[in-house]
Amino acid sequence: MDLKTLKTFNRIVKYASFHRAAEEMNYAQSTVTMQIQRLEADLGVQLIERGKKVALTEAGKLFYEQSLAMVERMEQLQANLADLQLGDAGTVRIGLTEPTASYRMPQVLKRFMDEYPKIRIAIEIASTPVLMEALKQGSIDFALCSAPDVGKELYFQPLFHERFMMLMPEGHPLASLDAIALSDLEGHRLLITSAACPYRKKLEMMLQEAGHLGVETMEIGSMIALQRYVAQGMGVALVPRILVDPLPSGTEARPMKGSSIDMLMGLASRTSALQFASAKLYRYVKQELEVAHMDS
């Protein structure tokens, strides 16, 4: 029993005519007759009374009622599979780091989902090392994050540099400077992210290169939360520029001078040849962010 045969049977019932059914299905009438004979043989019952006028047997009436829903479900399944092949349907699991997850991707994903309403998106927000492990385990399809460590056997497509600014409370002594050098941090409390954060690792490396500075640090686990702790006067923090546009209430920001902590951001995946909906979303995100940072 196949979909074509079920459609043929339904057309015969609809028009009460083998001839009309054959015309609509673009078959020879003999083909239609053979289809029904094969269907009846497969089911082991007679569905249509043979005579001048097409009439259904009791078994035929029952089968017709049930077959309408079967045809509808099978047609929907075929359409869904076609959408899946074209990348217009399916589920995509992506990994995002902050602040991109909160500040860049909501608008991008909203536009994408408006254009492709049949694609479902699941988001995991974590640090780059956690997302790299998720990629290796296959629990996400791709990630938008900082560059993974060398030797991770992952494909990385660079997109833009995350620019950083020094955020400080209003009236802070460092606010008198036009730009901040690492040496200017001596004697001040620096709010930093968690130990696994690539931003913190690069910042610590730069502080070591600058010499033994008397800088007190306080760990704040969330990049997004840093700005609120700064606004409360608890210290200064090096944060992505996107977090200070506009400036959070009660804060000021200054550019850095000298060494830069700017981080290379991009798309990481297990392969450069993603398929179906994953490939469509990957290309969309790449294009959107490349355009957005073209002048950065």
Q: Tens of pLDDT along 88-127?
A: 778 899 999 999 999 999 999 999 999 999 899 999 999 9
Report the distance separating Cα 252 and Cα 199, nearest Å: 21
All domains in the chain, ordered by first residue = 3-86 (1.10.10.10), 94-161+264-292 (3.40.190.10), 164-261 (3.40.190.10)
Average confidence (pLDDT) over 5-17: 88
Residue 212 has pLDDT above 70, yes or no: no
Kindly state the helix (H) or strand (E) to which residue 267 belongs, with its residue range. Answer: strand 263-269
* Confidence at residue 211, expressed as pLDDT on a 0 to 100 scale: 74
Backbone angles phi, psi at 189, to 5 degrees: -85, 130
Q: Which of 68, 76, 113 is nearest to 94 (CA)?
A: 113
- The string of pLDDT tens digits covering residues 20-29 is 889 988 899 8
What's the whole-model pTM score? 0.71
pLDDT above 90 covers a percentage of the chain that reads 50
* Confidence at residue 52, expressed as pLDDT on a 0 to 100 scale: 67
Report the distance separating Cα 258 and Cα 255, nearest Å: 10
Higher pLDDT, 267 or 83: 267
Report the distance separating Cα 12 and Cα 40, nearest Å: 14
